[in-house]
Amino acid sequence: MAKKLYRSQNDKMLTGLCGGMADYFDMDVSMMRLIWVLGTLLLTAGFGGLFIYLIASIVVPVEPV
């Protein structure tokens, strides 16, 4: 069975996107959040990363119960 990316309902601070990505990549959710924040600040000066986060939060479905 193929893995699918979902927004987490358990590990969420805002939308559950980082929690879902951490589950998908089999990582600690705190490490995923740190990578996301550092990538946003260092690579896109903040605005691009926030825009990508918002779009991904809309596109990626919530995990089924």
Structurally, the chain folds into a number of domains equal to 1
Domain presence at residue 25: yes
Domain presence at residue 65: no
Kindly tell me if the per-residue pLDDT of 40 is higher than 80: yes
Distance CA 53, CA 51 (A): 5
Domain presence at residue 49: yes
Kindly tell me if the per-residue pLDDT of 1 is higher than 80: no
Q: What is the mean pLDDT of residues 16-29?
A: 95
Domain that holds residue 30: 17-59
Domain presence at residue 1: no
Q: Report the b/e string of 18-38 with b at 16+ CB within 10 A.
A: bbbbbbeeeeebeebbeebee
Q: What pLDDT shows up at residue 44?
A: 78
